[in-house]
Amino acid sequence: MVRLDGSRIYSRMAVGGKAHGLSKIRAAGLPTPPAFTVTVDACRQYFESRDGLMARLWPQIKEGVTWLQAQTDHTFGRGPVPLLVSVRSGAPASMPGMMDTVLNLGINDDVERVLAEKCGARFAADTHQRFRELFCQVVAPDEQVPADPFLQLRAAVTAVFESWNSPRAVSYRRHHGLEGKMAGTSVTVQAMVFGNLDDQSGTGVLFSRNPLTGANEPYGEWLPGGQGEDVVSGKSDPLPLTVLAQTHPAIHSQLIDAATWLENDGADVQDIEFTVEAGKLYLLQTRAAKRSARAAVTIAVALQQEGRIDVDEALGRVTPAQLDTLLTPVIEPSALAEATVVATGLPACPGVGAGRVVTDCESAEEAFDEGEDVVLARETTSPDDVGGMIVARAVITEQGGATSHAAVVSRELHTPCVVGCGKGALRGLADTDVTVDGVTGHVYAGLLPLTRPSEDGDPAMATLLGWARERSRVQVHKVGTPHAAGLPVVDHRDPSTLTTALAAGATALAAEHPLPTLLALLRLTGNVDGGMR
């Protein structure tokens, strides 16, 4: 167990991404509630011997709680000023929403009464209800919530460890090639701050640049009177971040300044979770932002041109799979004139996806196994829906905003996504064919004709192509051009074609799309590193 006291910045591999970000925030003197973290290696030890690890760990956790009490001048589990905590997971590589979190832990009937006297009955009852619902969902679905705050805490810590091997977490790691690359998850225990306290409180998410387009402008959402889970779950429809600027300009300015510093320090776009409690800003998390394929290309080129990263790093931040997404077909413009819009929502991840609408993950996975293209339609998504999201051609939801679970995970998967179409708006679409445009937010009836974009027509991709050609000892020409005549044809999606060509000493190849092929070659030859972020 380590204290995140600002004395040092802990590595992502040691304490997980969340605690790494918090240690950076605290060391920089930016506002964040105090926290301590159970290390990633403790998770490995937990699965070797659950009882043995907890026997060694529990006294350290109690010491950590004592330290939080001293830092906050609050008392865990009782008055005069009760301390409540969040218990959150954090793997070395970001796995958004895949593991468990418990908020408002430490409350019981007695603590609720103390909070009611100090902060009002509505706040106290709301906070207690939020805790009960999340604890029963995450920790003890079929058991009574313990009244003893320390029993709550012990159960929550073990639940976070256990969530490392949950089906959704395993599926996510397998899909992203992360199996065997991490020892487990850390567990961060942090003093709670309350966005639901009063009319000067709220919660939100800020991206230091637009994660959909890559535009160099702040992007985010703000939910007055809410807690972070309200935004991420998609069950509440937040407001644009511009509303925070209008209603609390000083807090908005402080937030933007913090985001600018964190982006400069990390040389990458930041995804920042924040809470405002009684008019005071607190940063609860910062991490490299999940972004659409379009944003990944735009941001990589922009950061290089701004002098933040070098060319090799820029090439390493774009994957062949992201380029595949950008080079997939888009809706034929002439077809849009006759197309029927059946739903409209917020664009959450660019791209076009089409197929038969299914409303549950089991149907999506079964259809995928049969070779059928499907669009997953949900009221809102949760981590349990990830299996269906992985196989769907597009994801559409009735509720949620651009920082909801559906939006964040779809950007990570590079799956076209439209959220917040309206309650009941998707019910009549089940078993019909639709085409989803994640750029405009429109869902069209039927399977519309598509056309294929070109690398050369996109300035950012053209820049990457120039850099890749400069650094590759093997030239790659587009199939069908004069330079490609007679050359071996390779496909970056089949690495064996690349390794065979390299082994044969080829110095020039032909490919349908030269840029992703060049990036794959640079990775094979060690010229760029597409490392874990």
Give the length of the chain: 533
CATH architecture for segment(s) 330-451: 3-Layer(bba) Sandwich (3.50)
Query: Rounded to whole angstroms, how far apart are CA atoms 352 and 437?
Result: 5
Provide the pLDDT for residue 519.
Answer: 96
CB within 8 Å of 138: residues ≥ 6 apart: 100, 101, 102, 156, 159, 163
User: Half-sphere exposure of residue 134, counting CA atoms within 13 Å on the CB side?
Assistant: 25
Distances (CA, A) of 347 to 96, 404, 408: 19, 12, 12
User: What is the helix (H) or strand (E) element at residue 76, kind and residue range?
Assistant: strand 75-76
SS3 41: helix
Q: Where do the domains of the chain lie?
A: 1-192, 193-291, 296-326+453-532, 330-451
Phi, psi angles (nearest 5°) of residue 440:
-95, -20
Token pair listed for 130: 């939020």
Name the nearest CA neighbour of 176 among 115, 267, 72, 94: 94
How many CB atoms sit inside 10 A of residue 59's CB? 10
Provide the pLDDT for residue 459.
Answer: 93
Query: Rounded to whole angstroms, how far apart are CA atoms 36 and 1?
Result: 7
Query: Rounded to whole angstroms, how far apart are CA atoms 191 and 205?
Result: 19
What does R_g of the chain's alpha carbons equal in angstroms?
Answer: 24
User: What is the helix (H) or strand (E) element at residue 435, kind and residue range?
Assistant: strand 433-437
Provide the pLDDT for residue 533.
Answer: 53
Write the DSSP symbol of residue 150.
Answer: H
Provide the pLDDT for residue 229.
Answer: 85
Calculate the CA dihedral of residues 86, 101, 256, 126 and round it to 10 degrees. -60
Residue 345, amino acid: G
CATH of domain 193-291: 3.30.470.20
Q: What is the CATH class of 1-192?
A: alpha beta
Provide the pLDDT for residue 223.
Answer: 96
Residue 86, amino acid: S
pLDDT tens per residue, the chain (533 residues)? Answer: 999 999 999 999 999 999 999 999 999 999 999 999 999 999 999 999 999 999 999 999 999 999 999 999 999 999 999 999 999 999 999 888 789 999 999 999 999 999 999 999 999 999 999 999 999 999 988 889 999 999 999 999 999 999 999 988 998 899 888 988 999 999 999 999 999 999 999 999 999 999 999 999 999 999 999 998 888 777 788 999 999 999 999 999 999 999 999 999 999 999 999 999 999 999 999 999 999 999 999 999 999 999 999 999 999 999 998 998 888 888 998 899 889 999 999 999 989 999 999 999 999 999 999 999 999 999 999 999 999 999 999 999 999 998 899 999 999 888 999 999 999 999 999 999 999 999 899 999 999 999 888 888 889 999 999 999 999 999 999 999 999 999 999 999 899 999 999 999 999 999 999 999 999 999 998 767 655 45
Provide the pLDDT for residue 452.
Answer: 81
SS3 196: coil
